Amino acid sequence: MKPLKIAAVLISFIMVMGFAGCNGEETASGEESKAADATEAVASDNSGAAESKAQESSSSLKFVAKGKEIAIDMDTSSFISDLGDPVSYFEAESCAFQGLDKVYTYSDFVIRTYPDGDRDLVSSVELKSDLVNTAEGAYIGMTEDDIRGLYSSYNIDGDGNSSMTIVDGGTKLSFIFKDGTVESITYTAAE
Amino acid sequence: MKKKIIASILIIIFLTGGLWFLQRLLMPKYQGKIVEGAMIEEYYKETEGHDVLFIGDCEVYENFSTMTLWEEYGITSYIRGSSQQLIWQSYYLLEETLKYEKPKVVVFNVLSLKYNKPQKEAYNRMTLDGMKWSMSKVNDIKASMTEEEDFIDYVFPILRYHSRWQELTSDDFKFLFEKEPVTVNGYYLRTDIMPQGEFPDPMPLDDYSFGENAMMYLDKMTALCKDEGIELILIKAPIEYPYWYPEWDEQVSSYAEENGLTYINMIPLSEEIGLDMSHDTYDAGLHLNVYGAEKLASYFGQYIVDNYGLEDHRNDPKYTKIYEEKIKLYNKMIEEMNNITEEE
């Protein structure tokens, strides 16, 4: 009877796991998001039912433009229309129709997004001129000492010879130097 | 007692059979708009080996026409490609493929070196679900899973796909046991044309070094090919977006030199290849259409014939009949794709 018991346990296990998954769908838990996301993403023709599993970064590192806070993994629908028309806009279809990667280029900064279900989430923000600055006041043209002064309460990796990075929550803030001054500033997702 | 045992066995067979059937029914078939998830398992239908094996992401399976390699040079080739195929997935697919055959040349597209950790379950599924069970698949799953994924969901996909019961279509029944081919020897063709536009400027990076994990798998791939006496060629397909940084290019060049490998960055060779990106791409420059893929295969085929002395199999009776059928399928796919394009 041993094989019978093993088979019964196996079948019970599969059914319990299946039910557990189904129950998860009726809650607003992470399991729901996970299942819906995968189903929507991998199934051939379904749509609409997906809930996002991405959570907005809990980082304190945020960029502010036109009074709107912009953070990594933030849904762009909460701010994109307030930024006005970009100088240029680019979109690229992800492989296997997994949505559009978008690039909004404004005169002083660039916002890149990735698809998550029906939403577009921020994948990076790049500051391109000294007319904009980080929420803490850093801008292009500053020196290593300036950055260290502004971010004295954070752990900083690197130095002014090449780049300095600060990781907080799910966000990495990078200062890329050229000839001793900040040449570009980027917010990306921390690994 | 005997009756009880027989009844129990029948119940077990019925239940496991039922679950197996349900699982097959609920798993995505990838026969509609998204076909990329059907590519990996198509390989198992091959009856003969190949001299050239491509591994990698869409930059191989959409950019090299395997039928042009056959028609122009008699090269037998297969692309074990899948969407956003990560380097550990390429490695384990190579490892698995070598259990079935031993190609003379393996071609790996290096774009995936930019990823150092698992990315997205949807893409994992498109690569992993189609693999037959083996230690290569087990290790591939382990290397690929994101934090939110569970190994058990790969062992019993029904746990993952059970909610699809609400979305089942006639295709789920039609392709329950047999699927239509979506590639020809791994090449996924498109015939539509959308000229390449302008790409956004690349974002500067604070660190251009490839990650340790990615490089470890490149080392493993190199070692595996060396152990098996296979020539490994590293390529970067002639696609400008996503951006291929010069710093990345230098790293791959150095790696190839240190390890005695060939590395070809095809981006600067676009003109020499004969690509016209106002015509040879179907999605504004991200992938080549069949016209571009045939040009690229023609160029690359000549290169590998010249440098690796591959045999011309066009008069080899072992292959002629097989490739006759494949060419028919290829032409049929072109025709069907043209019809779809015209309808649109």
Q: Domain coordinates of chain A in residue numbers?
A: 2-42, 63-189
Does residue B171 surpass a pLDDT of 80?
Answer: yes
CB B160 within 8 A of CB B152: no
- Note the CATH architecture for domain A63-189: 3-Layer(aba) Sandwich (3.40)
**Cα–Cα–Cα angle for B241, A52, A118, rounded to 5 degrees:** 60
- Find out whether B269 and B238 touch, Cβ atoms under 8 Å: yes
Tell which wins on pLDDT, B22 or B342. Answer: B22
Domain carrying residue B267: 35-343
What is the Cα–Cα distance from B88 to B3, expressed in whole angstroms? Answer: 51
Residues of B with Cβ-Cβ distance to A183 under 8 angstroms: 204
Report the pLDDT value the prediction gives residue A59, as an integer from 0 to 100: 80
Contacts by B100-104 with C-beta closer than 8 Å and gap 24+? B100/B46, B100/B49, B101/B49, B101/B50, B101/B53, B102/B49, B102/B228, B102/B230, B103/B49, B103/B50, B103/B51, B103/B52, B103/B53, B103/B230, B104/B51, B104/B52, B104/B230, B104/B231, B104/B308, B104/B310
Pairing, β B77-81 against β B52-56: parallel
Instruction: Mark out the alpha helices in chain B (DSSP H runs).
Output: 2-26, 39-42, 58-61, 66-73, 87-97, 121-128, 135-144, 151-155, 158-161, 170-174, 212-228, 246-258, 270-273, 290-308, 317-343
What is the average pLDDT score of chain B? 95
Closest-approach residue (CA) in chain B for A19: B159
Residue B308 lies inside a defined structural domain of this protein: yes
Tell me if B4 is assigned to some domain.
Answer: no
pLDDT exceeds cutoff 60 at A186: yes
Residues in chain B: 344
User: Contact at 8 Å (CB) between B109 and B59?
Assistant: yes
Q: Are the Cβ atoms of B167 and A95 closer than 8 angstroms?
A: no
Quick one: which H or E segment has residue A19? Answer: helix A2-25
pLDDT at B155: 94
Residue A29's pLDDT is 31
Task: State pLDDT tens for residues B248-265.
Answer: 999 999 999 999 999 999
Token output for B50: 């190949």
* Partner A, chain B 66-85, Cβ-Cβ below 8 Å: 83-84
DSSP one-letter string for B218-237: HHHHHHHHHHHT-EEEEEE-
Distance (Å, rounded) from C-alpha B183 to C-alpha A60?
Answer: 47
Q: Return the amino acid letter for A62.
A: K
The 10s digit of each residue's pLDDT in B178-207 is 899 999 999 999 999 999 999 999 999 999
Chain B residue with minimal CA distance to A26? B163
Pairing of strands A181-189, B231-236: unpaired
Give the helix/strand (H/E) hosting B192. Answer: none
Query: Closest Cα of chain B to A162: distance in Å?
Result: 8
- Selection from A58-72, A175-189, B7-21 with the highest mean pLDDT: A175-189
pLDDT at B211 over 90: yes
Structure tokens at A113: 């997004």
Q: How much is the average pLDDT of A66-90? A: 93
pLDDT of res. A9: 60
Which B residues in the span 277-306 are in contact with A, Cβ-Cβ below 8 Å?
283-284, 286
Does residue A129 have a pLDDT over 60? yes
- The alpha helices in A26-160, defined as continuous H runs, are 30-42, 144-150
B264 and B234 in contact (C-beta within 8 Å)? Answer: yes
CATH (domain of B120)? 3.40.50.1110
In the three-class reduction of DSSP (H, G, I as helix; E, B as strand; rest coil), residue B248 is classed as: helix
Looking at the partner chain, which of B8, B83, B283 has a beta carbon nearest the beta carbon of A96?
Answer: B83
Note the pLDDT tens digit of each residue in A17-63: 544 444 433 322 333 333 334 444 454 333 332 334 445 557 889 99
Q: What is the pLDDT of residue A49?
A: 28
pLDDT value at position A12? 58
Q: Beta strands B105-109 and B231-236: pairing type?
A: parallel
Query: For chain B, how far is it from start to end, CA to CA, in angstroms?
Result: 66
Tell me, yes or no, whether B22 lies in a domain: no
| Residues making up chain A, counted from first to last | 191
Mean pLDDT of B223-245: 97
Whether residue B8 is predicted with pLDDT greater than 50 in this model: the reply is yes
* B184: β partners: B187
- How many distinct structural domains can be found in chain B? 1
Mean pLDDT of all residues in B228-232: 97
Distances (CA, A) of B149 to A36, A52, B310: 13, 15, 43
Per the domain annotation, does B25 fall within a domain? no
C-alpha to C-alpha distance for B164 and B187, rounded to whole angstroms = 29
Neighbours of B18 (CB within 10 A): 11
Top pLDDT among B273 and B340 is at B273
Does residue B169 sit within a domain?
A: yes
For residue A162, the chain B residues in CB contact (below 8 A) are 206
Among B15, B16, B33, beta carbon nearest to A97: B33
Q: Is B9 on the interface with A (CB under 8 A)?
A: yes
Please give the angle made by the CA atoms of B73, B77 and B78, to the nearest 5 degrees.
Answer: 155
Rounded-to-integer distance, Cα A159 and Cα A180, Å: 10
Position A190 pLDDT exceeds 70: yes
In a domain, B27, yes or no: no
Is B295 in contact with B289 (CB distance < 8 Å)?
A: no
Question: What's residue A160's pLDDT?
Answer: 85
Tell me whether residue B204 is in a domain: yes
Backbone torsions φ then ψ of B142, nearest 5 degrees: -60, -40
Does residue B154 form part of some domain? yes
> What residues in B contact A107, CB-CB < 8 Å?
none
For every residue of B118-147, DSSP letters joined together read ---HHHHHHHHTTSPSSHHHHHHHHHH--T
